[in-house]
Amino acid sequence: MTSRYSFVAKEQIDVFHRRADQGHHRRIRWLMSDTDCWWDPFKSIGDIAVVHVDLIPDQGREAEALAWLDGEEHSRWQRFQSPVAQRRYVLCRAALRAILCRQIGCPNESLAFQAANHGKPFALVDGLPASISFNVSHSGNHGLIAVAPTGRLGVDVEERAPRRNLENLIEGVFSPREKAELESLDGCQQLYAFFRSWTIKEALVKAYGKGLSMKVSELEIPEDMRRGATRCICQFSQIPDTAWCLEDIGTKAFAAAVAHEVSPPS
Ligand SMILES: CC(C)(COP(=O)(O)OP(=O)(O)OC[C@H]1O[C@@H](n2cnc3c(N)ncnc32)[C@H](O)[C@@H]1OP(=O)(O)O)[C@@H](O)C(=O)NCCC(=O)NCCS
């Protein structure tokens, strides 16, 4: 089936960044749309590439994407209860396959995925764990895929749609200090700050891989970042011996954040 290979032949761009902490160059390559890819380069952060995935309904794309999935992914796609969940999954997973195949340099058929203890997916090539970091998030019509050569990596995106139970969510997710700051805001400002902080925390727990089995209210976002800084390097007592780079990559259309493990000094 030609569509299974079509993404390998598409024009690519190379995004090249210096790893300041290690003093060497690593290449992150991704596909640039020359025809009808539904994903596009969104942002580069050091050696991390973030790709935006367009999740608007499109039967042609969904059919093409489905043809790239393996048997296990196909069964998972069938188990989703709603067409919206199916669409998000298939469009993000096929884009992820295209990006990882290009980056690793393997055919689609060699690539498979497994999930770690708390559900975080990792890639296998011909049955062996691939040496690449990635994470995926989707919300509404937007998906984000972050890819890096090494280091634990998390990404989260949330459309800023009004939430009915905002007070309960604030109660469960934020520290007393964060709560007081959010509660001092009203209306749109509160919603904006809520999603910003939410995505930062979720990117962190996704990078760590334990998801919401962690007590996120105890992972307080550093003050600089709460006050508007878009990037910080920080540590949390719940995650000893690891420093994290947190980056707010939100736009007008959605809140979004990336968390990446900072390499220990060599
Ligand atoms: C993984 C989790 C943290 C994120 O879920 P989510 O926000 O619903 O979904 P997202 O779109 O951001 O991420 C889903 C993707 O994350 C990846 N993922 C799944 N488990 C993961 C884990 N433990 N760690 C990192 N990534 C994970 C998968 O690739 C998944 O996409 P896929 O199933 O299409 O492959 C999930 O555990 C969860 O329960 N979320 C609930 C949201 C919430 O209450 N957040 C509180 C704010 S901090």
106-139 pLDDT tens trace = 999 999 999 998 999 999 999 999 999 999 999 9
The Cα–Cα gap between 52 and 92 comes to 9
For the Cβ of 137 lying below 6 angstroms from any atom of ligand 1, the answer is yes
Q: How far is CA 31 from CA 51, 75, 123, 162, 200, in A?
A: 9, 27, 18, 34, 27
Per-residue model confidence (pLDDT) at position 211: 78
Q: Cα of 230 to ligand 1 centre, how many Å?
A: 22
For the Cβ of 97 lying below 6 angstroms from any atom of ligand 1, the answer is no
Per-residue model confidence (pLDDT) at position 212: 78
- Residue pair 1/19 in contact by the 8 Å Cβ criterion: no
Q: Cα of 140 to ligand 1 centre, how many Å?
A: 14
Per-residue model confidence (pLDDT) at position 35: 52
User: What pTM does this model have?
Assistant: 0.88
Q: In a 10 Å sphere around its CB, with 0-12 CB exposed, 13-18 middle and 19+ buried, how is residue 41 labelled? A: middle
Return the residue whose CA atom lies nearest to atom 4 of ligand 1.
Answer: 211
- What domains appear along the chain, each with residue ranges and CATH number? 3-150 (3.90.470.20), 157-262 (3.90.470)
Return the residue whose CA atom lies nearest to atom 25 of ligand 1.
Answer: 206
The Cα–Cα gap between 18 and 47 comes to 7
Per-residue model confidence (pLDDT) at position 264: 63
Per-residue model confidence (pLDDT) at position 4: 31
Q: What is the mean pLDDT of each run of 10 residues along the chain (266 residues)?
A: 32 29 37 67 95 96 95 97 97 97 94 95 97 97 97 96 85 94 92 96 94 88 96 92 95 96 72
Q: Cα of 213 to ligand 1 centre, how many Å?
A: 11
Per-residue model confidence (pLDDT) at position 250: 97
